[in-house]
């Protein structure tokens, strides 16, 4: 599911659109496999350990606990991953997350002061990292689990420069004073 084009401004174009890195699904997948294996084994063994109503009630307890664990530790992280979007347009940076309740943030490229990244040891192995975008007035934007974070950092700088140039041309065409280079307003 891509970012809805109807939510873009006039002349705004999506340059890059992505989800968090797939590594965010490794632990939920391991938990899912472990819970299914453990619950199946425990339910089978429970029947040989106990009989009658205690055996039947015990199996239901195992199923309820297992389903709860899968929902909290496997399904919920997967839904968060699938509904999270990082969108970079020629005018702003957009983050959206949430399945039922939504959370989002937009940062105009004009307010970008600095873009940096952090890559851990495992991030180098799997090619992901944290992108930190300093803003000229708002709180900084920190995006975790960004695939190809170094390339995205360079792309944000390029988009910022193009946006500055576009705003300078627009200001000059409107008869106003051109925006001085490096001024993010």
Residues making up the chain, counted from first to last: 185
Q: In what order do the strands lie in the sheet with 92-97?
A: 14-18, 85-89, 92-97, 103-108
Name the percent of the chain lying above pLDDT 90. 69
For residue 180, pLDDT beyond 60 = no
- Per-residue confidence band for 152, with pLDDT thresholds at 50, 70 and 90: very high
pLDDT tens per residue, range 18-70: 999 999 999 999 999 999 999 999 988 987 888 777 778 888 999 999 999 99
Helix (H, G, I), strand (E, B) or coil at 57: helix
Residue extents of the structural domains in the chain: 25-80, 91-173
Please list, residue by residue across 8-43, b when 16 or more beta carbons sit within 10 angstroms of its beta carbon and e when fewer do. beeeeeeeeebbbbeebbeebeebbeebeeebeebb
């Amino acid at each position: 599911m891509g970012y809805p084009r109807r939510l873009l401004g006039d002349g705004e174009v999506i340059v890059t659109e992505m989800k968090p890195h797939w590594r965010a699904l490794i632990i939920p997948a391991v938990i899912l496999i472990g819970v299914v294996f453990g619950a199946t084994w425990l339910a089978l063994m429970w029947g040989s350990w106990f009989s009658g109503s205690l055996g039947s009630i015990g199996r239901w307890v195992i199923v309820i606990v297992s389903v709860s664990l899968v929902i909290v530790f496997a399904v919920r992280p997967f839904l968060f991953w699938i509904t999270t979007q990082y969108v970079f347009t020629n005018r702003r940076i957009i983050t959206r997350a949430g399945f039922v309740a939504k959370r989002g943030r937009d940062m105009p490229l004009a307010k970008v002061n600095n873009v940096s990244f952090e890559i851990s040891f495992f991030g180098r192995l799997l090619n992901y990292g944290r992108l930190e975008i300093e803003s000229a007035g708002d709180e900084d934007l920190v995006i975790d689990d960004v695939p190809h974070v170094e390339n995205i950092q360079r792309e944000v700088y390029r988009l910022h420069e193009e946006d500055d140039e576009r705003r300078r041309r627009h200001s000059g065409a409107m008869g106003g004073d051109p925006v001085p280079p490096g001024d993010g307003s």
